[in-house]
Amino acid sequence: MNTATKVTLYGVALAAIFGGTWAAGAAAGPPETPPPAHTEAHDTHEQAPSQLPPGLSVSDNGYTLRLDETKPGTFHIEGPDGNPVTKFAVEHEKRLHLIAVRRDGSNFQHVHPQMAENGTWTVPLTFPEPGSYRVFADFRPESGPKTTLGADVQVAGDYEPRQHPNSRTFTVDGYEVTLKGDLDANAASTVEIDIAKDGKPVTDLQDYLGAKGHLVALRADDLAYLHVHPEQSGQVKFAVEVPTAGKYRLFLDFKHGDTVRTAEFTLTTHEEGGHGH
Ligand SMILES: [Cu+2]
């Protein structure tokens, strides 16, 4: 592949990944700057503010995550008018998904808070170990775009960060969970997950959040929260939009025997011409 082709593909991938952001930005931004028909590599620096991956900011698209400092499981989403948002669209069967993970990529939790009429959300959220945690709220207001906001919560005590070497297999409660597929930078990558128990494939997974499992993918260096879509009904298969080369933490929630369990993986993007697998 020559350099010109690479640059073009890079631009196409960026346009595909950030197409939604462009549309939202164009609607809110000055009318004299329409989005370009195609994206050149040299334009990248001009796009930085609106094209960051989701989850890196406490405030985005006019919405702000307001955690109750004394009770991190209590919070509201402040809307563009400064008031708590009370109307949310249902996505993956819930109006809001709350994810908590320590900054070292450990202690992942995915819970579904309840909202009071005034827009205050609550969920029992406990942090099992000291450290700095990232809390993400993933939602779509009825009158706004899909948004993921993140805020930090500090849990006092001696913090011993963990290393997460690359790993494609995880065992939880006797379930052996294996991730297949590679992550490619600047692209939508497909990963598929096999689940076995006692050496036999589990073929009767229950639906969870409208699919055969729910995947959260985070960029290890900054916990950017990637776009992930279930690819096919009936399979544990996902498209993951990977913005940059590097290491990623992936967390799969799956349901079997009426219990939701989480498997976690660490992948580094596939290097062209490398020895990834
Ligand atoms: Cu959820």
Report how far ligand 1's centroid is from the alpha carbon of 110 (Å): 6
pLDDT band for position 31 (50/70/90)?
very low
Predicted pLDDT at 209: 92
| Integer angstrom CA distances of residue 1 from 9, 26, 237 | 10, 33, 29
Report how far ligand 1's centroid is from the alpha carbon of 129 (Å): 22
**CA–CA distance, 187 with 15 (Å, rounded to integer):** 10
Please tell me the least confidently modeled range out of 25-29, 56-60, 72-76: 25-29
- CB–CB of 209/92 below 8 Å? yes
Q: Are residues 182 and 238 in the same domain?
A: yes
CATH of the domain at 192: 2.60.40.10
Report how far ligand 1's centroid is from the alpha carbon of 203 (Å): 23
pLDDT band for position 140 (50/70/90)?
very high
Predicted pLDDT at 50: 54
Report how far ligand 1's centroid is from the alpha carbon of 4 (Å): 41
Name the pTM for this structure: 0.80
Query: Does the pLDDT at position 135 exceed 70?
Result: yes
Report how far ligand 1's centroid is from the alpha carbon of 25 (Å): 26
Report how far ligand 1's centroid is from the alpha carbon of 168 (Å): 23
- CB–CB of 202/196 below 8 Å? yes
Report how far ligand 1's centroid is from the alpha carbon of 45 (Å): 33
Q: Specify if 161 maps to a domain.
A: no
From 155, 184, 203, give the residue that closes a domain: 155
Mean pLDDT value across residues 141-162? 96
What is the residue-averaged pLDDT of the chain? 85
Query: Does the pLDDT at position 27 exceed 50?
Result: no
Q: Are residues 175 and 261 in the same domain?
A: yes
Q: Are residues 183 and 226 in the same domain?
A: yes
Report how far ligand 1's centroid is from the alpha carbon of 111 (Å): 6
pLDDT band for position 85 (50/70/90)?
very high
Predicted pLDDT at 72: 80
Predicted pLDDT at 116: 98
Predicted pLDDT at 23: 38
Q: Specify if 277 maps to a domain.
A: no
Query: What are the helix (H) ranges across 89-238?
Result: none
Q: Specify if 273 maps to a domain.
A: no
Residue 236's domain spans which residues? 169-268
Planar angle of CA 41, 19, 36, nearest 5 degrees: 50
pLDDT band for position 47 (50/70/90)?
very low
Report how far ligand 1's centroid is from the alpha carbon of 97 (Å): 4
Q: Are residues 132 and 173 in the same domain?
A: no
Report how far ligand 1's centroid is from the alpha carbon of 139 (Å): 9
Q: How many residues does the chain have?
A: 277
Mean pLDDT value across residues 109-130? 96
Mean pLDDT value across residues 217-238? 91
Report how far ligand 1's centroid is from the alpha carbon of 208 (Å): 9
Report how far ligand 1's centroid is from the alpha carbon of 127 (Å): 18
Backbone angles phi, psi at 166, to 5 degrees: -55, 135
Q: Specify if 108 maps to a domain.
A: yes
Report how far ligand 1's centroid is from the alpha carbon of 89 (Å): 13
Query: Does the pLDDT at position 210 exceed 90?
Result: no
pLDDT band for position 107 (50/70/90)?
very high
Q: Are residues 27 and 112 in the same domain?
A: no
Q: Are residues 257 and 189 in the same domain?
A: yes
Report how far ligand 1's centroid is from the alpha carbon of 149 (Å): 14
Mean pLDDT value across residues 114-124? 97
Q: Are residues 43 and 104 in the same domain?
A: no
Report how far ligand 1's centroid is from the alpha carbon of 9 (Å): 33
Please tell me the least confidently modeled range out of 3-12, 61-70, 74-83: 3-12
Predicted pLDDT at 49: 52
Per cent of the chain over pLDDT 70 is: 79
Q: Specify if 188 maps to a domain.
A: yes
| Integer angstrom CA distances of residue 93 from 3, 43, 60, 206, 242 | 44, 38, 23, 14, 24
Q: Specify if 162 maps to a domain.
A: no
Mean pLDDT value across residues 216-244? 92
Domain count across the chain: 3
Q: Specify if 164 maps to a domain.
A: no
Q: Are residues 143 and 71 in the same domain?
A: yes
Query: Does the pLDDT at position 159 exceed 70?
Result: yes
Mean pLDDT value across residues 226-241? 88
Long-range (24+ apart) CB contacts under 8 A made by 198-202 are 198/174, 202/175, 202/256
Predicted pLDDT at 235: 84
Q: Are residues 176 and 258 in the same domain?
A: yes
From 120, 155, 190, give the residue that closes a domain: 155
- For 108-137, b/e burial (b = at least 16 CB within 10 A) is bbbeebebeeebbbebebebeeebebbbbb
